[in-house]
Structure 1
Amino acid sequence: MPRRKTNHPIEHVVIIVKENHGFDNYFGTFPGANGATLPRSSNPPHQDPNHRHDAWLTRKTTAVREQFVEQDIPAYFAYARQFTLCDNYFTDVAGPSTPNHIMLITADSPIIVNPPRYRLPVGEPLFDLPSQPAALEKAGFTWGNYGGYAFDFIKALQGKRKFASAQFKQDAAAGKLPSVSWVYAPHDASEHPPDPNDAGNPLVGNVTHGMQWTVDQVNAVVQGGLWPKTAIFITWDDWGGWLDHVDPPNVEQWKHDPTHPDRDGNHPQWNGTQFRYGSRVGCLVLSPYAKSGYLSKVLHSHVSLLKFCETLFGLPHLNA
């Protein structure tokens, strides 16, 4: 199907999703931002903080009170100075990765936990949810999943438009990107803090290494000549178990469903606890059309990126 054109100079949207770092943990010391100064973290962190929903509920006393500084992630600070940083941007689920990854595709999530086989969803039940990729296809636009796993949980998306992370850089440098690209780093460049199984790889969790991977993707867009017609969003999927001093608005509560206990790990005691929003994370907006040196104080969340695409491409509203 030939790709439709927009009536706006932006023809391509790139959503880069990194892993497990809250706003104060990364941008708490950025000048002018609503941040907090905390002790500096080792790079990489010693371990992956608990970032499940139960840990989120007790975060004020149990979350890790550490952060990284500009010397650790200089390019992210440079992007924030040159373009736009959102400091009132929240995750959409008060919990771990997979629910938020699904939110970034469908503007909804039927789960509040990572499924037992969340990295390998073979055999897991598929969710029959409307999604932005499907809406793009129906409207005659294109999309690509570069390295994401959560697409395979969505019935209509399983196995479709699925590429390795490395393919994005090649496609961008060749000037051949789809209308919307969801981009995920390989594990050792995702910025996800190390698990015990990662002991043999010193790059896992190194935020400077992960930042450079992101820079390489941005540079490929420029190299391929797509910069004048592209908007790039860089965000982090969940709070990662790090303390953030801003409490997110409580706009939706979790509803335990005894007929689907797997959706919250069979924790009926979570019924009525905060589902949306989760803690703040950073969101960088890079584009020739982004405000330079701007700190956005407007409340946004992961689904705001989908809303942007809906407006740009004239798509129907998801989860309206």
Structure 2
Amino acid sequence: MPRIIAWTYSNYLRPFHEEPPFRAAARRFPGAVRARCALACTALSSIAVLLSGCALHAPAVDRASADQVRSSRQTDPQAGSRSIQAIKHIIVIVQENRSFDSYFGTFPGADGIPFKAGQPTVCVPDPHGGCVRPYHDPRDKNFGGPHGSRAAALDIDGGKMDGFLTALSIGRSCTSNDVNPNCGSGEVMGYHDARELPNYWQYARNFVLQDRMFESTASWSLPAHLFLVSEWSAKCTRPGDAMSCARALQQPAYPPDYGSHRGRGRHRIAARPDYAWTDLTYLLHVHHVSWAYYVFTGSQPDCADGDADCAAAMLSARTPGIWNPLPYFDTVERDGEEKNVQNIAQFYVAARSGSLPSVSWIVPNQRLSEHPDALVSDGQSYVTGLINAIMQGPQWNSAAIFLCWDDWGGFYDHVPPPPVDKNGYGLRVPALVISPYARRGYIDHQTLSFDAYAKFIEDDFLSGQRIDPKTDGRPDSRSVVRENEPQLGDVSRDFDFSAAPRPPLILPTAITVAH
């Protein structure tokens, strides 16, 4: 039976309770396609997982033809940063754990899954024999795959992008928590299209789809969120000393209530982490630019250090964690700006009243995040509600919404990430630009990462000042200024500031998904 998901404004203001205990990762999936081979979740798992597998489907026919979708390969827009100040409110909406190909791999005009005569031309080797091709997955609930730094290296496999099924074998103790970054179900080759993602595809048809947005770091959620707000993921050895910090691709300092110490007792985490390096809010504070970080109360997944046996961690504006790291930054505490980390209810109030700050980040809870095993439809409805709130508010005509997913979640993607430094780039993730000035139906093929968001914010509000230890007035030990990397594209090219602002596109938040 179809399942109808509907959210109203009041639903968003009602905080969600804790999630129920996570289900076991090792399970048998029905699916519309049959497996040719069995995959083991891990060597230590006691239950075999049958991979839903190789019967192939051609991509769904989308209502927008490829001719209707303009591409940056066809045009070279020159919307310069001289007009960027038309954007007075930047909102970064961060969802969870999807690769570009898993959401937009069959979108017309995008650099998606290679097809020939209606069949995918790629077939990823299965270490248990044979190979598996990408297939349409109509299910609302997915379980993904390993998505830590080791999994990223296996998936990428030196640029061959053929290790996604091999990576499933690195999980451990994957019997009690199926959302751990080192666990997976074996359905990582599935993809969705407009049938499961009607609103996301509508946004792509009407605004800007970025098909070369790479995660800033080849790792999981905590490093990704640290990069989103600070352009680095590090661990510091001396509290308050920014020069004592060194890069940490997989294991930056964990929140004290997080990780396996709440389960089996290994790797106890007792101390509050100290993120002493410079973050973007420091520059915003110095330049008197308002900001907020909105958090949806609930829980968050992923266990510390790849362990699977741990309870879900609490997430709220007053409970810092992997999706809410800013309260652990020295700059936020010293600038007295902990109050800027707020409950999601404050976002809706600000959007309705026209009091959104200059820069906003918005993070969900597990239930609304699209992080496996959360329902895709729940996340899509929630995001639509966020965007509708902005569009229906008085600040729409000066707003830019950047919608992204923090990491690839173990799902297949065929584009090798370009190297930038020892942290990344990571794998491709979906990303959209939604604004009254965004180019209509435009696909941006520039090489991008979350660093491009920071660059846009800095160009718009900080006169181009970067998080640069040589010039920002607060030295730290990072060796790379990510925003200045030559290969990084410029998202200002996704806008046409010479045009009149476009009216809102209000989409329904009731989404029907067939199981």
TM-score, structure 1 length as denominator? 0.83
Q: For 1:33-72, what per-residue CA distance to the aligned partner results, in whole angstroms no more than 9, with x for missing partners?
A: 0011621335343434211111111112235211111111
- Structure 1 gaps of 5+ residues are 1-5, 195-204, 254-274
**Alignment match of 1:21 (pick from 62, 82, 98):** 98
Provide the identity percentage.
33
CA RMSD of aligned residues (A): 2.0
Inter-partner Cα distance in structure 1 for 2:251 and 2:197:
28
Measured at CA, do residues 167 and 43 of structure 1 come closer, stay the same or move farther in structure 2, by a change above 3 Å?
A: farther
Shift of 1:116: 7.7
The aligned amino acid for 2:154 is T
- How far off is 1:123 after superposition? 2.8
Is the 2:97–2:410 contact (alpha carbons within 8 Å) kept by the matching residues of 1?
Answer: yes
**What residue in structure 2 maps to residue 180 of structure 1?**
359
Query: Residue 204 of structure 2 corresponds to which residue in structure 1?
Result: 80
**CA-CA distance at 1:251 after TM superposition:** 1.9
- Seen in structure 2, the aligned counterparts of structure 1 residues 303 and 116 have a Cα distance that, compared at 3 Å, is closer
2:213 corresponds, among 89, 94, 97, to 89
Matches of 2:84 and 2:147 in 1, distance apart? Answer: 41
SS in 2 for 1:318: coil
* Structure exhibiting the larger radius of gyration computed from Cα positions: 2
| Residue of structure 2 aligned with 1:278, choices 412, 418, 426 | 426
Pair 1:119–1:58, CA change in 2 (3 A): farther
Q: Give yes or no for the alignment of 1:113 onto 2:250.
A: yes
Q: How many residues align?
A: 284
1:228 aligns with 2:386: no
In the TM superposition, residue 154 of structure 1 has moved relative to its aligned partner by 1.7
Contact in 2 for aligned 1:139/1:315 (Cα 8 Å):
no
User: Aligned partner of 2:359: which letter?
Assistant: V
- Quote the Cα distance in structure 2 between the aligned partners of 1:46 and 1:285: 25
Match of 2:331?
156
**d(CA) in 1 for partners of 2:138, 2:329:** 37
Name the structure with the higher helix share: 1
The CA deviation string for residues 103-148 of structure 1, in whole angstroms up to 9 with x for no partner, is 1111111122255845846833212121111211110110001015
* 2:240 paired with 1:61: no
**1:157 match: secondary structure:** helix
**Residue aligned with 1:77, SS:** helix
CA distance in 1, matches of 2:427, 2:135: 19
* 2:328 matches 1:191: no
Q: 2:343 is matched by which residue type in structure 1?
A: A
Report 1:103-142 matches (<5 A): 103-110=227-234, 111-113=248-250, 117-118=254-255, 120=257, 123-142=271-290
Instruction: Give, in whole Å, the separation in 1 of the partners of 2:85 and 2:253.
Output: 42
Distance 1:318 1:119 in 2: 27
Per the TM alignment, residue 173 of structure 1 is displaced from its structure 2 partner at its CA by: 1.6
Match of 1:211 in 2: 380
Residue 247 of structure 1 aligns with which residue? 416
Contact (CA 8 Å) 1:173, 1:222: kept in 2 or not? no
Deviations 1:186-209 (A, max 9, x none): 221111102xxxxxxxxxx11121
Task: Tell whether the 8 Å contact from 1:136 to 1:315 is kept in structure 2 after alignment.
Answer: no
Unaligned runs of 5+ in 2: 1-82, 114-119, 121-133, 156-161, 166-187, 235-247, 259-269, 296-322, 469-480, 482-515
Partner Cα separation in structure 2 for residue 17 and residue 7 of structure 1: 22
Amino acid at match of 1:105: V
Contact preservation (8 Å) 1:146, 1:167? yes
Helix, strand or coil at the partner of 2:361: strand
Contact 2:92-2:361 at 8 Å conserved across structures: yes
Deviation per residue, 1:165-184 (Å, 9 max, x gap): 23212221221100000011
Equivalence for 2:60: none
Given that residues 253 and 274 in structure 2 are in contact (C-alpha distance below 8 angstroms), is that contact kept between their aligned partners in structure 1?
A: no
Contact 2:101–2:413 (Cα < 8 Å) also in 1: yes
Q: Is the CA contact (8 Å cut-off) linking 1:97 and 1:114 kept in structure 2?
A: no
The one-letter code of the counterpart of 2:384 is V
1:153 is displaced (CA, Å) by: 3.2
Deviations 1:82-101 (A, max 9, x none): 00010011001111011110
The answer on whether the counterparts of 1:96 and 1:114 sit within 8 Å (CA) in structure 2 is no
Q: Which of the numbers 145, 149, 165 marks the counterpart of 1:49? A: 145
Change (3 A) 1:15 1:120: farther
Q: Is the 8 A contact 1:98 1:118 kept in 2?
A: no
Using the alignment, how far apart are the partners of 1:30 and 1:19 within structure 2? 20
Answer whether contact 1:165 1:186 (CA < 8 A) is retained.
no
Q: Secondary structure at the match of 1:49?
A: coil
* RCO higher in structure (CA 8 A, sep ≥6): 1
Paired residues of 2:293 and 2:342 also in contact (CA < 8 A)? yes
Displacement of 1:281? 0.7
**Which secondary structure does the structure 2 equivalent of 1:232 belong to?**
strand
Q: Does 1:309 align with 2:457?
A: yes
Query: For the Cα contact (< 8 Å) 2:281–2:331, is it kept in 1?
Result: no
